[in-house]
Amino acid sequence: MDAPDLPINQVLEGDCIDVLQRLPAESIDLIFADPPYNLQLRRELWRPNLTLVDGVDDAWDQFGSFADYDAFTTAWLSACRRVLKRSGTLWVIGSYHNIYRVGARLQDLGFWILNDVVWIKSNPTPNFRGVRFTNAHETLVWAQKERGATYTFNHHAMRALNEDKQMRSDWMLPICTGRERLRVNGQKAHTTQKPEALLYRVLLASSNPGDVVLDPFFGTGTTGVVARRLNRRWIGIERDPKYAALARERIAASPPPGSAPGVYASHNPRRETRLPFGALLENNLLQPGDPLYFGEQSAICARVQADGSLEYNGQRGSIHKIARSLHPGPCNGWQLWFYEDAGSRERRPIDLLRQQLRDLLKSSDEGEK
C-alpha cells in the first residue's frame, strides 16, 4: 500500500538527496535515474563548417574530482534505495564517462544488477576531430533492490513490442530531435533530454499500471510524460526551477491515459489462475481416452487417462513428464500437446482449453458476485 502522504504526480523542487529523505521508506515501485554524466569536457568542439557543437557544459555536470562524483553517486543511490520497495527496481543511464563508477557504487550498496542495456543511437553526433570512434551508444543498468526478491518484468509485453521476438539488450533508437526536443528561444531547453521511446520501453518492461515511478533527475519531465501515457503514477525531483516549470507545462499538455484501463495491463501468464490438467476432464473439455499429439504435425500420440495423466508407449505420467521423455530439456506440456478439434479436425494446443476453462470459471465467479 502507498503511504497516504506520497506526492503523486508532482514535480518536487530541490536537491534530490534532500527531497528523497522526506519521502516514506519503501514506497516507490520503480526509479529511473538520468544523473549528471561528469563528462569532463575541457575544450570547445567545432564542426568542420566552423559552427560550435552544442555540448553539455552545464554547471550541474561538473565535479571537482572522481572522488567528489563517487560521493555524490553514493549519496543519491543510498537515498533511492531507502524509498524503493523491496520488490522495486532501478534504472540508471550513463555514458563511458560515468556508468562504470555508478555500477560499482550500485554493487557496493547491495543492489543486484539484472541487465545492462545498450541504447544504440541511430543518429549519433559524429566525432568531428576524428581522433576517436563516434560515441554512438549509452548504457542503462537495471538493478533490483534485493537479490532474489520478486520484481516486475513484463517479458511478454517486450516480446509483443518486438514483433513477437524476445527483446534483446541492444536497443536501436534515435536521439531526441525534431518536434519532441523542447526549445526555448530557439535553443535546447535541456542538453540531455532523453527520447520518449526510450522511457516507453523502460516503463513498459518494469512497471505495471498504477505503479509509482520516481525520477530523481527529472529535467524537463520525459519520465512523467511517458508514465502518464502508460497509466503509471509518477514523482519527479528537479532542483532547477526553470526545468521544473517546463516539465509541469509539458506534462499538462501531454495526452492523459485513455478511458479503457485494460489496454495498459501487460499479459503475464504467470499471474493467471493455476489449473491442473485434470481440471479439463472434470469440466468436460476432454474425455478419458482422447488422443493428444506431440506437436501440430507429429504422429506421436498419447492417450488421456481418467486420472489426468497421459499414457504413451507403456509410460504414464503428467503432460510435462511425458513431454520431457520425448524431448529432453525444459518442457511446457500445455504448449506441446495438441488436441484435435471435433469441428474443424485441426490440431490445437491444449493451452487453449485451459484458457477457455479460466474464462468459464471467471465468468462464474463474477455471476455469483
Could you count the other beta carbons within 10 Å of the beta carbon of residue 183?
10
With a cut of 90, say whether residue 88 has pLDDT above it: yes
Provide the sign of the torsion angle of the four alpha carbons 288, 289, 294, 296, taken in this order.
Answer: negative
Task: Judge residue 258's burial from the number of C-beta atoms within 10 Å of its C-beta, 0-12 exposed, 13-18 middle, 19 or more buried.
Answer: exposed
Q: List the one residue out of 98, 86, 83, 88 whose CA is nearest residue 39.
A: 98
For residue 107, the tally of other CB atoms under 10 A from its CB is: 13
Contact status, residue 235 vs residue 262, Cβ threshold 8 Å? no
Distance CA 311, CA 96 (A): 58
Q: Would you say residue 305 has pLDDT above 80? A: yes
pTM of the model: 0.74
CB 188 within 8 A of CB 220: no
Closest CA to 31 of 73, 93, 119, 99: 93
DSSP code for 185: T
Mean predicted confidence (pLDDT) in 28-49: 72
Indicate the Cα dihedral angle 43, 69, 9, 87, nearest 10°. Answer: 140
Architecture in CATH of 10-269: 3-Layer(aba) Sandwich (3.40)
Ordered by start, the domain boundaries in the chain are 10-269, 272-368
Mean pLDDT computed over 6-18: 96
**Count of other CB atoms within 10 angstroms of residue 228:** 19
Does residue 192 sit in helix, strand or coil? coil
Name the DSSP letter for residue 46: B
Angle between helices 222-229 and 196-206 (to 10 degrees): 50
pLDDT tens-digit map of 155-176: 999 999 999 899 999 999 998 8
Of residues 42 and 319, the one with the higher pLDDT is 319
Q: What is the mean pLDDT of residues 338-345?
A: 90
Model confidence band, residue 134 (pLDDT cutoffs 50, 70, 90):
confident
Confidence of residue 217 (pLDDT cuts 50, 70, 90): very high
* CA dihedral of 214, 216, 219, 223, whole degrees rounded to 10: -20
The alpha carbons of the chain give a radius of gyration, in whole angstroms, of: 26
Mean model confidence pLDDT for the chain: 88
- Per DSSP, 267 falls in state P
Please check the confidence at residue 52 and state whether its pLDDT lies above 50: no
The answer to whether 17 and 80 have CB atoms below 8 angstroms apart is no
What distance in Å separates the CA atoms of residue 154 and residue 204, rounded to the nearest whole number? 7
In the structure grid, which three cell numbers stand for residue 223, read together? 519520465
End-to-end CA distance of the chain: 25
The C-alpha cell that represents 54 in the structure block? 552544442
Whole-angstrom distance, CA of residue 207 vs CA of residue 88: 9
Amino acid at 303: R
